[in-house]
A and B are shown apart, each in its own frame.
Chain A
Amino acid sequence: MPLESERPQATPDRAKDEEFVAEKRFRRSVLLSRLLGTRELGIVLVTGLAFLCFSLAAPRFFSTQNLVGILREASLLCILAVGMTYLLIGGEFDLSVGANYGFLVTVLAFLIVLRGFSPWLAGFLVILLGVSVGVVNGLLVTQVKLQSFIATLGSMAVLRGAANIVSGGYPISARNENSFFYHAIGGRWLGRLPNLTLLMLLILLVGGIVLAKTRFGYELYATGGNEEAARFSGINTAMVKLACFALTGGLCGLIAVLLFGWIGLAPYNTGTGFELRVIAAAVVGGTGLFGGRGTIFGTFVGALLLGMLTNGLILMGVRQFWDGVAAGALILVVAALDLFVRRSAVRFAEVSEA
């Protein structure tokens, strides 16, 4: 090892080079740190890996028809998951979404088929009704101060019962599926892409922009991150949460309209267990259960992964019942990977700082 005195003195040019290299290294480390810090990294990696595995293992997986099918399957889930992501970021959640969706599709069919309403008007009314249900949930949480778990658990039971009362436990079918309403929703206006999927993409885009680029998005993250601090900063946290509940309710109405327009049928059991899939899509996509964290992009990837899993496992010929086990195991893997990536990011940031 050379002594300090024996080391060559740095010339101005050499010093410049070293400075340049150090800056380059610093930039690279910042970029890597940011990348590792991205909550969606884990889920994107897993989704990519799953996509690759299914494409290799199941010959029919990587076909246009199948991929479009996965997107369509994820459409209703994704649309509702936008609302759920907002709620989770705001530190709340809604267990009644599945029941609300089932109730609203029944009411919609009731209005169109049994009361002769125009499908468009009935659709509008059902979305309004969904917003109202959301507002009631929101008021229960923000004004009555009930825990969202309790408030929406109660709503879930009420709405499920109400759906059965409206339908009499009997599915209601559309009588004129040739009208423009059904073609507009169930059709494909842009090549092979179903209109349902186009609408989903639009809602994801708008949802993402509102969350990332508007004052409301900022207030929502602040509310979920630290409600008290947000309130002291002048944010009306109750109003922010109420808006999220209303939005989620409205989206329940929207997917009810989309389901009926798509299949022309309102089964009384619509949405059974749907709430857990919606929450799973958001959480797998990196949205924190305790508020303040999450993105619409992550939720989209989470919903895609869940849809892809069911589809891919069937295409691989996995025997019945194992698909549920595999899907559950994958959720655990994603959660663990997400945790690992986040811890690595923290460690990397500490090392970089040092």
Chain B
Amino acid sequence: MEKIFSDEGPVAQSLLSRRGALRFAAAMAAFPLFGSLAGCHKPAGVASSSNQPGNVGGRRRKLVWIPQAAGDWEVPIRVGHLEFCRMVGWDYQHIGNPIYSVQNHLDQLNDAISARPDVIVTELESRGMVSGFKRALDAGIAIVIIDQAVAEEAEKLGLGVISQDPRSMGRMNGMQAAMWAEKISGKKGGVILIGNGNPGSALIDALQSATQEGIAGYNQEHGTGFTTEVFADSAFDDIATSMSKYGAHIDQKGDSLVALTGLGGASAIAIWKTLKERAIPPGKQLAAGSPDIFPDQQTGIEEGYLQWGVDQDFLVMGFLSAASAWLQIEAGYPYWSMHTPGEVVRKEDIDHVRSRTTAWLSKAKELNLIEA
């Protein structure tokens, strides 16, 4: 036993007293911290050669993915990222951002910039994100826009966008809505209801206006007179609320309603569940469908409640965004906008799409992203 002195007076303690242990731990923690601040600390296990693929200055490159919000849609994107990062030996980090909020997304982007990764992949869903993008570029971080962007802001920043073309996808959605409305109701006019799950988001709003354009285009080509009505369907927040909203709209429109469409997979699921719950016979009274083609939507299409979906191939989107970053920082080759496929999916296409879905789902399980 060694005699030491505390503030309260002399006390007999062992060398491993609580205070001693704390001092020791603080010193141990401070050493690498000061070391890293002084630029002299090298984490153990890092190869010294910068020639190895994926390495720069003796460390592995790192890609950070910051989704606008958590969602089923970003699981295949993560699979695409991980596949590419594994191939080139990059580290990968997914930053969770559960709620659709520009401020929350910007906060996460700023946090990621502070960590100084080599690449950030994220959306530019609102002009509010521009300051974060500028900060990242000023900090020398390669940034790739994925999934959605305010086109003119992306152009000003000199960045391309790796995404489905929302105008094209929206028009496809609108054409499908009008076509199925005419086919199922046998009418030449009526209301097509459009549920918007995330009003104010660049992609979703572009999809909305393009869906309306698609319906107008169908009217022009086929001499029909379908009108549209848009409402905030809450599908991206809470399915029970969304179902009650769709139900109320079905009641309000009555016989004038001919079709229901959303602007994302979550809306399609709310529509499917509402139709099923109200015992509206599948494919007999109301046409229904939406962009995206997630597994539950596929079931909705198989059951006949939904007639169509539009696949935008998120896995490819993820893979291409990471590959674009690689081209920029490894080959000095600027990336430009690329559109992933936009494929209309109907009942007869489900088997084909299921096999594609199963492939990324199995990979997601293998990578421990999901258990489902």
- Binding partners A and B: yes
| Residue from A73, A173, A269, A317 within 8 A of B252 (CB atoms) | A317
- Please tell me if B70 contacts chain A, counting CB pairs below 8 Å: yes
Minimum Cβ distance to chain A for residue B237 (Å): 5
With a cutoff of 8 Å between Cβ atoms, the chain B residues found around residue A170 in the complex are: 72, 75, 364, 369-370, 372
Q: Which residues of A contact B241 (CB under 8 A)?
A: 310
Residue among A69, A110, A270 making CB contact with B238, cutoff 8 Å = A270
B22 smallest CB distance to A (angstroms) = 23
Decide if B254 touches A269 in the complex (CB within 8 Å): no
Q: Is A288 an interface residue (CB 8 A)?
A: no
A159-176 Cβ-contact flags toward B at 8 Å (1 or 0) = 011001001111111000
B203 vs chain A, min Cβ distance (A):
18
Which residues in A have their C-beta under 8 angstroms from that of B244? 69, 72-73, 307, 310-311
- Select from chain B the residue with minimum beta-carbon distance to A60: B251
Q: Which residue of A lies closest to B237 (CB)?
A: A272
Q: Range of interface residues on chain A? A: 35 or more
Q: Which residues of B contact A114 (CB under 8 A)?
A: 371-372
Separation of A282 and B277 alpha carbons in the complex (Å): 28
Interchain CB contact under 8 A, A58 and B252:
yes
A93 CB contacts on chain B under 8 angstroms? none
Question: What is the number of residues of chain B that contact chain A, defined by CB distance less than 8 Å?
Answer: 41
> Is B339 close to A, CB under 8 A?
no
Please tell me if A113 contacts chain B, counting CB pairs below 8 Å: yes
A333 part of interface (Cβ distance < 8 Å): no
Residues from chain A with a CB closer than 8 A to the CB of B249 are: 314
State in angstroms the CA–CA spacing of A320 and B231 once bound together: 5
Q: Which residues of A contact B71 (CB under 8 A)?
A: 169, 268-269
Residue numbers in B under 8 Å from A270 (CB-CB): 238-240
Q: Taking the nearest CB of chain A, how far is it from the CB of B315, in angstroms?
A: 14
Query: Could you tell me the distance in whole angstroms from the C-beta of A191 to the nearest C-beta in chain B?
Result: 15
Is A269 touching B236 in the complex (CB atoms < 8 A)? Answer: yes
B230 CB-CB contact with A under 8 Å: yes
B363 CB to closest chain A CB, in angstroms?
13
Q: Please tell me if B245 contacts chain A, counting CB pairs below 8 Å.
A: yes
Q: In the assembly, what is the distance between CA of A186 and CA of B371, in Å?
A: 26
A125 within 8 A of B: no
* Docked pose: A157 CA to B276 CA in angstroms: 34
Q: Assuming the A-B contacts A267-B239, A314-B231, are A168 and B273 also in contact, with contact meaning beta carbons closer than 8 angstroms in the complex?
A: no
Asked whether any CB of chain B lies closer than 8 Å to the CB of A63, the reply is yes
Residues of A with C-beta under 8 A to B304? none
CB-CB under 8 A from B239, the residues of chain A are 263, 265, 267, 270
Q: Which residues from chain A contact B240 at a C-beta distance below 8 Å?
A: 73, 76, 259, 263, 270
B72 and A169 contact, CB distance less than 8 A: yes
Contact A315 B237 (CB under 8 A): no
**Min CB distance, B230 to chain A, in Å?**
6
Whether B206 is near chain A, meaning CB under 8 Å from some CB there, is no
Quick one: which of B74, B251, B254, B295 contacts A169, CB cutoff 8 A? B74
CA gap between A113 and B370 in the complex, in Å: 13
Cβ of A271 within 8 Å of any chain B Cβ, yes or no, is: yes
Taking CB as reference atom, which chain B residue is nearest A160?
B98
Question: Which residue of A has the minimal Cβ distance to B276?
Answer: A263
Confirm or deny: B296 has a beta carbon within 8 angstroms of a beta carbon on chain A: yes
A348 part of interface (Cβ distance < 8 Å):
no
Residues of B within 8 A of A259 (CB): 240
Contact between B238 and A310 (Cβ–Cβ < 8 Å)? no
CB distance from B193 to the nearest CB of A (A): 11
Q: CA of A29 to CA of B196 in the docked complex: distance in angstroms?
A: 54
At the interface, yes or no: A328 with Cβ under 8 Å from chain B? no
Alpha-carbon distance A152/B299, docked complex (angstroms):
38
CB neighbours (8 Å) of B243 from chain A are 263
Contacts of A58 in B (CB 8 A): 252
> Is there contact, CB below 8 Å, between A321 and B199?
yes
CB–CB B254/A268 < 8 A: no
Residue of A nearest to B245 (CB): A314
CA–CA, A146 to B249, complex, Å?
44
Chain B residues numbered 203-241 whose CB sits less than 8 Å from any CB in chain A:
230-232, 236-241
B277 neighbours in A (Cβ, 8 Å): 186, 263
A residues 311-343 touching B (CB-CB < 8 Å): 311, 314-315, 317, 320-321
CB distance from B342 to the nearest CB of A (A): 23
Chain A residues, Cβ within 8 Å of B128: none
CB distance from A251 to the nearest CB of B (A): 15
- Kindly state the separation between the CA atoms of A172 and B361 in the bound complex, as whole angstroms: 12
Task: Judge whether B98 and A164 touch: CB under 8 Å.
Answer: yes
B248 touches A311 (CB 8 A): yes
Q: Given that A170-B72, A269-B70, A272-B99 are known contacts, is A60 also in contact with B371, CB under 8 Å in the complex?
A: no
Q: Please report which residues of chain B, range 34-73, place their CB below 8 angstroms from some CB of chain A when the two chains form the complex.
A: 70-72
Assess A269 versus B98: contact at CB under 8 Å? Given A170-B75, A263-B273.
yes
Does the CB pair B232–A320 fall under 8 Å?
yes
* B269 CB-CB contact with A under 8 Å: yes
Contact A60 B254 (CB under 8 A): yes
Determine the distance from Cα of A110 to Cα of B245 in the docked complex, in whole angstroms.
28
Partner of A173, one of B196, B232, B247, B299: B299
Give every chain B residue within 8 A of A269 (Cβ-Cβ).
70-71, 98, 236-238
Residues of B within 8 A of A65 (CB): 251, 278
Q: Name A311's closest neighbour in chain B (CB-CB).
A: B248
Q: Which residue from A168, A265, A268 sits with its C-beta under 8 Å from B269?
A: A265
Given A160-B98, A274-B238, answer yes or no on A310-B245 (Cβ-Cβ < 8 Å): yes
> Across the two chains, which residue of chain B brings its CB closest to A313?
B248
Contacts of B202 in A (CB 8 A): none
B257-275 at interface with A (beta carbon < 8 Å): 266, 269, 273
Question: What A residues does B299 contact at CB under 8 A?
Answer: 173
Give 5 new A-B contacts, CB below 8 A, not counting A268-B72, A320-B199. A65-B251, A164-B96, A168-B364, A265-B296, A320-B230
Residues of B within 8 A of A (CB): 70-72, 74-75, 96, 98-99, 196, 199, 230-232, 236-241, 243-245, 247-249, 251-252, 254, 266, 269, 273, 277-278, 295-296, 299, 364, 369-372
Write the residues of chain A forming the contact surface with B, with a CB cutoff of 8 angstroms: 58, 60, 63, 65-66, 69, 72-73, 76, 110, 113-114, 160-161, 164, 167-173, 186, 259, 263, 265, 267-274, 307, 310-311, 314-315, 317, 320-321
Listed A/B pairs (11) with beta-carbon separation below 8 Å: A60-B251, A63-B251, A66-B251, A69-B251, A168-B370, A169-B72, A170-B370, A171-B269, A171-B296, A265-B273, A315-B248
